[in-house]
Amino acid sequence: MLDFKPIPRRLNLRHAAPVDHRLMAGSARAGAARTMAAFVDPRAPPVNPKPPAAAHAANATHATPADPAAGDTLDHCAGLPPAHPVALLRHQRPALRAAAQSAFDALWLAPEGRSRVAHERSLVALRVAALLEDAPLVAACRAQALKAGAGAAELARAMPASEADTLTALNARLTTLLMFVDRITLQPAAGTARQLEAMARLDFGPAAIVGLAQGAAVMAVLARVVAGVRAIAAAGERGAAPSIASPGAAAGLLPGHHPAAPARALRGRFTMDGLAWRPWLPPVDPAQATPAQQGLLAQWSPASRRSSFELTMLHTPSLRAPQSRLLAEASRAAGGLPWSERALVAAAVARQDGCTFGASMLGRIVSRMTRDAEVMGMLFAQGVNLPLPPRRRALVDLAVDLAAVQPRVAAGRIEALRAAGCSELEILDAVHAAAAAAGDDRLALTLGEAVPHPG
């Protein structure tokens, strides 16, 4: 078990764009118990930063890691040369930086189980980058997909169609794959068990479905880290800027000015009551785990080994291992943004994503740590525009920007965080917390549902 220094418990708390349905036509969080265990108990041991040996051995011949000469992929996509101040800032979170690169590299590994579509992970990664309209990320994914053996014609099919009916020429499995990825990326709260049943009828097994979902979730996380890092760099280039004023500033409270989130296919309601997570796919039976799965299981706590969420994610250990490390580091890396504020950022993202399970868990954590249940109750009832003190307001505003379907940080957001007293490392930590929550929410919403806690 690795040594871990708990995060200091300072008690400073804390739009989605409409979905193009033509594109959609065309194209216990208990494991959150593991992911969110990092928020629930900062004393919990971090995930082993080294992948399980069995998993590494199983995938060694299939890996196509990013070219070392190109440096860090996320820095490259964010337009940061190695000596850039924000690139050096990212080096202050070395484990998280390495986990993000490992998660990107895992997208080009051969999928667990029998693939339903050739080069499916390459298609998923490229599709998500294109849906998010991130040109540098699209270019990075295309380059890696070609190295992984995908052909240019194959990759062209992953690009969003300009007309809905152009996908009719694709086979049923590829069409289903692309529509599934589109839903996770653009409208995760609309996921249903029936959609997974329809995929099963086309011979997508549990490992294939979980692999597609995890690939899209990893891309959702990485794209938001890139968007946040770009914003920090751009704010540095602009230099000091006046803080954003508001009529409520004199009273110490600032309202938000975000467009109302569109109607969502929410299951249940936002609540501070305890919720559990029920999967729509059969979790892995630890007694029948593969060597790669056993290697990952060995790193988990007893609670995680009983988690329905984590056992469902265990279908694809090559993706879950680096994602788990990234999530753990984002939530409890020592120093930087206080633990309660990271949880506040993640709760605001869950509120925007429509993830009632994540919001419930995080809301209770923030309330317990800050002794301020009223704020989280207002967040759930009123949404992200509730009046907040300047620092909390700036953190929630950043979270909302990064929760958007196409994450873009508005001008002035980083300056507002600085004016509210956030250091550069704290701002980076807020970006990581928001990005991690966006990926986790997508898995919880797509592969299962929140249910009343049995206790």
CB 96 within 8 A of CB 330: yes
Residue 84 in tokens? 């850039």
Residue 40 pLDDT greater than 50, yes or no: no
Higher pLDDT, 242 or 293: 293
- Tell me the average pLDDT across 25-47: 38
Residues 182, 199: Cα–Cα separation, whole Å: 14
- pLDDT on residue 372: 74
Residues 4, 334: Cα–Cα separation, whole Å: 8
pLDDT band for position 246 (cuts 50, 70, 90): very low
- Tell me the average pLDDT across 97-110: 93
Residue 242 pLDDT greater than 50, yes or no: no
Beta-carbon contacts of 303 under 8 Å, excluding residues fewer than 6 positions away, are 33, 34, 37
Higher pLDDT, 280 or 164: 280
Residues 423, 4: Cα–Cα separation, whole Å: 23
- pLDDT on residue 64: 38
Beta-carbon count within 10 A of 292 CB: 23
177 DSSP β-pair partners:
none
Beta-carbon contacts of 382 under 8 Å, excluding residues fewer than 6 positions away, are none
Q: Is 347 left (phi over 0), alpha (psi -120 to 50) or beta?
A: alpha
Beta-carbon contacts of 373 under 8 Å, excluding residues fewer than 6 positions away, are 272, 367
Residues 174, 208: Cα–Cα separation, whole Å: 13
Mean pLDDT of the chain: 78
CB 438 within 8 A of CB 403: yes
pLDDT band for position 70 (cuts 50, 70, 90): low
pLDDT band for position 238 (cuts 50, 70, 90): low
Q: Give the DSSP H/E element, type plus range, for residue 451.
A: strand 448-452
Beta-carbon count within 10 A of 430 CB: 28
- pLDDT on residue 161: 64
- pLDDT on residue 316: 93
Residue 249 pLDDT greater than 70, yes or no: no
- pLDDT on residue 6: 36
3-state secondary structure of 430: helix
- pLDDT on residue 36: 41
Q: Which of 327, 348, 440, 436 is nearest to 394 (CA)?
A: 348
- Tell me the average pLDDT across 55-65: 35
- How much is the pTM? 0.81
Q: At which residue do the structure tokens 């992948």 appear?
A: 51
Residue 8 pLDDT greater than 50, yes or no: no
Q: In whole angstroms, what separates CA 184 from the centre of its chain?
A: 11
- pLDDT on residue 447: 96
Least confident of 105-119, 191-205, 311-325: 105-119
Residue 144 pLDDT greater than 70, yes or no: yes
- Tell me the average pLDDT across 209-228: 96
Instruction: Report, in angstroms and rounded to the nearest whole number, the Rg of the chain calculated over CA atoms.
Output: 20
Residue 330 pLDDT greater than 60, yes or no: yes
Least confident of 72-81, 270-279, 326-335: 270-279
CB 281 within 8 A of CB 455: no
- Tell me the average pLDDT across 299-312: 87
Say how many Å lie between the first and final Cα of the chain, rounded.
Answer: 30
The most confident of the ranges 4-8, 13-17, 119-123, 240-244 is 119-123
The angle formed by the CA atoms of residues 143, 149 and 155, to the nearest 5 degrees, is 60
- Tell me the average pLDDT across 429-434: 97
- pLDDT on residue 119: 84
Residue 214 pLDDT greater than 60, yes or no: yes
- Residues 17-30: pLDDT tens digits? 333 333 333 333 33
- pLDDT on residue 116: 64
Q: Which of 96, 103, 117 is nearest to 65 (CA)?
A: 103
Q: Give the DSSP H/E element, type plus range, for residue 275.
A: strand 275-279
Q: What percentage of the chain's residues is helix, strand, coil (to nearest 5)? A: 60, 5, 35
- pLDDT on residue 226: 98
Beta-carbon count within 10 A of 47 CB: 28
Residue 216 pLDDT greater than 60, yes or no: yes
Higher pLDDT, 450 or 219: 219
Higher pLDDT, 74 or 243: 74
Amino acid letter for position 194: R
Residue 9 pLDDT greater than 70, yes or no: no
Residues 292, 316: Cα–Cα separation, whole Å: 9
Residue 231 pLDDT greater than 50, yes or no: yes
